[in-house]
Amino acid sequence: MSRRVSPGLRSGSLPLLVALMTLLAGLALAGLSGIQSLAAGWSQAARSAATIEIPTDIPNAPDRTDALVHALKALDGVTNIQKLSTDKVQDLLAPWLGQPVGSHKGLPGLSLPQVLIVAHAPGTDLTATVHDALPEAIVQEDLQWGQRLERLGTSLTGCAWLAVILIAAIVILSIGITVRRSVAAQKRAVDIVHSLGAADLTISSHIAGRAALLSFLGGIAGLILLTPLTTSLATTLSPFAHQSALPATFPTTLDGWWTTLSILPSSLLKELGALPLIAACLGWLTAQGVVLVWLRRLP
Amino acid sequence: MIRLRDVSLKPAGVGQPVLHGMTLSIPQGEFRWLLGPSGAGKSSLLRLLTLGARPASGQMDILGTSVTGASRGALRNLRRRIGFVPQDYRLIGEWTVFDNVALPLRLRGRSEREIRQEVFSVLEWLDVAAYAHSRPTILSGGEQQRVAIARALIGRPDILLADEPTNALEESQARRLLSTFQELIDLGTTVIVATHNESLVREAPAQSIMLRDGTLDPQAVAP
């Protein structure tokens, strides 16, 4: 026989509310993780690339360009040099110069530059080498783009954190309102137990224990709802995050879902796994607070 | 021992005190009838004595503890030594009869084995043991009243307060209850019973506390 010393908490809509809030918090955390990962990847890529433009109207341009490529290849930290074809440069400049007409490249009287894309380790200085080999060439480091992407990533991360904090506040409010309603509904029972000499903590702990259990179950339900959404999100973001291990399409088998889930960042999986426990803790603390404050009104 | 000196009770939101100038002293192990017309303040005095409210003014000592300045913990311990049979029974409808009656013992941390034994003993004595695992809401008024009496008696309180405890009981059960009260008094319990039942009062003559308009009627304090 259970040892009843205090009324519990009527479940009401608490598990459903917590499930939905867990879902929202999980999506915000997944979004946060995705944004951090994408921003870091883009920033890294941008910091590790430089564009060199070589005017084609200088004397002996092809030979001097080859000499520059050799000099760059000999440089420590340079990992790849890609020489863009004229067609590719034309395509890149098409928004500004318009599409080529017939065999004419660019605008009449305007010759297109030769473009080299140089991949290098962060911190590698190409400027001196380029200046020695081909002073007319212009080096554009993509560092500033990396910094802008970093700032963008930081802003988006801040927004995602704000969403997580707002959701936590809404969870606390929802639990608080639900507990207050439940306590109000059981006012008579609480009054009786109090009048027989039950300690405030005994009453509040019983109600808080039930609130924690219901919040935990709601959190688990929210996680179950979250799994397909997180997997879909991971699949959608994978091409941008260079995650070659992910399937290109939404997984349709259980194995496919598992594969997608298993390559999610372990920190994200830990955060998502902790959501039901966090919900239970919030439920317990909120219920304790609400009930203790309410009991203070009794003599 | 119950001692009130110039006590008043003024519930929140009520302009006038519902009790005022209450001065009385009841030695431990004595019996008092609490009498008076409806609205005289009997329920308010019982509320005060069951620690359901603190006095607005005056001095109130119960079992050697000054209620006026007592901590919540002290009041909690006092409540455990007071048994109360409310007029509306105040049973928890969602719990079984057993759980309702077992509550005072559970709050004192008694073992489930002891609790089971004592609860069934008192329920059998009051002839409601058959309903031990039923919810009180399915019981008749008289049966609910007996369950409320069982809950008040189970902890062998130092003070027993009862508000119309026989109004739903048959005459024979009322007499049994009176004899139980007498046994408790012999064991040192102070018993105060509020009633309108004049035949019951005639059957067990004792000192009375007569209330009128929220204060003691001095002419009727002693029979």
B110-121 pLDDT per residue, tens: 999 999 999 999
**Amino acid sitting at position A187:** K
Distances (CA, A) of B162 to A86, A108, B43, B149, B176: 103, 110, 10, 8, 15
User: Domain ranges in chain A?
Assistant: 14-41+150-295, 56-136
Q: Name which of A3, A188, A192 is nearest B106 (Cβ-Cβ).
A: A3
The Cβ of residue B125 has, within 10 Å, a number of other Cβ atoms equal to 15
B86-127 pLDDT per residue, tens: 988 999 998 999 999 999 999 988 999 999 999 999 999 888
Site of tokens 């012999």: B186
Tell me which chain B residues have a C-beta less than 8 angstroms from the C-beta of A299.
51-54, 75
Instruction: Give the model's confidence band at A103: pLDDT under 50 very low, under 70 low, under 90 confident, else very high.
Output: low
Domain ranges, residue B176: 1-81+157-223
Cβ burial, residue A162 (10 Å; 0-12/13-18/19+):
exposed
Q: Are residues B98 and B143 in the same domain?
A: yes
Q: For chain B, how many structural domains are there in total?
A: 2
Q: Are residues B221 and B173 in the same domain?
A: yes
Q: What is the ipTM of this complex?
A: 0.88
Instruction: Give the minimum alpha-carbon distance from B79 to chain A in angstroms, rounded to a whole number.
Output: 5
Whole-angstrom Cα distance, residue B143 to residue A92?
92
Beta strand pairing status for A114-120 and A49-54? antiparallel
Residue A143 has pLDDT above 70, yes or no: no
If DSSP codes are grouped into helix, strand and coil, which group holds residue B22?
strand
pLDDT, mean over chain B: 88
Instruction: Give the model's confidence band at B223: pLDDT under 50 very low, under 70 low, under 90 confident, else very high.
Output: very low
Q: Are residues B58 and B134 in the same domain?
A: no
Instruction: Write down the pLDDT at residue A187.
Output: 81
Beta strand pairing status for B190-194 and B31-35? parallel
Q: Are residues B31 and B118 in the same domain?
A: no
**Amino acid sitting at position B77:** N
B148-157 pLDDT per residue, tens: 999 999 988 9
**φ, ψ at B81 (rounded to 5°):** -100, 5
**φ, ψ at B62 (rounded to 5°):** -130, 125
Q: Are residues B179 and B70 in the same domain?
A: yes
Annotate B26-53 with b (16+ C-beta within 10 A) or e (fewer): beeebbbbbbbeeebbbbbbbbbbbbbb
Helix-then-strand count for chain B, H and E: 7, 10
What letter would DSSP give residue A102? T
Whole-angstrom Cα distance, residue B34 to residue A65?
113
Instruction: Write down the pLDDT at residue A1.
Output: 39
Q: Are residues B74 and B164 in the same domain?
A: yes
Instruction: Write down the pLDDT at residue B95.
Output: 92
Domain end: B156, B178, B194, which one? B156
A236-253 pLDDT per residue, tens: 766 655 545 555 566 667
Domain end: B156, B181, B203, which one? B156
Are the CB atoms for A137 and A53 separated by under 8 Å? yes
Beta strand pairing status for A138-141 and A49-54? antiparallel
Tell me which chain A residues have a C-beta less than 8 angstroms from the C-beta of B111.
none
Whole-angstrom Cα distance, residue A167 to residue A159?
12
Q: Are residues B115 and B201 in the same domain?
A: no
Instruction: Give the minimum alpha-carbon distance from A180 to chain B in angstroms, rounded to a whole number.
Output: 19
Q: Are residues B128 and B162 in the same domain?
A: no
Q: Are residues B133 and B190 in the same domain?
A: no
B141-191 pLDDT per residue, tens: 889 999 999 999 998 899 999 998 888 778 888 888 888 888 889 889 999
Across the range B58-75, mean pLDDT stands at: 90
Across the range A24-44, mean pLDDT stands at: 78
Q: Are residues B37 and B53 in the same domain?
A: yes
Among the listed residues B192, B191, B106, the one whose alpha carbon sits nearest the alpha carbon of residue A193:
B106
Q: Are residues B62 and B97 in the same domain?
A: no
Interior CA angle at A70 toward A69 and A71, to 5°?
90
Q: Are residues B139 and B212 in the same domain?
A: no
Whole-angstrom Cα distance, residue A85 to residue B62?
100
Tell me which chain A residues have a C-beta less than 8 angstroms from the C-beta of B102.
4
Tell me which chain B residues have a C-beta less than 8 angstroms from the C-beta of A192.
90-92
Residue B222 has pLDDT above 50, yes or no: no
Annotate A62-74 with b (16+ C-beta within 10 A) or e (fewer): eebbeebbebbee
Contact at CB, A197 and B90, closer than 8 angstroms? no
Lowest mean pLDDT among A115-119, A127-131, A149-153, B135-139: A149-153
CATH code of the domain in which B31 resides: 3.40.50.300
Beta strand pairing status for A138-141 and B82-85? unpaired
Instruction: Write down the pLDDT at residue A109.
Output: 59
Instruction: Give the minimum alpha-carbon distance from B110 to chain A in angstroms, rounded to a whole number.
Output: 11
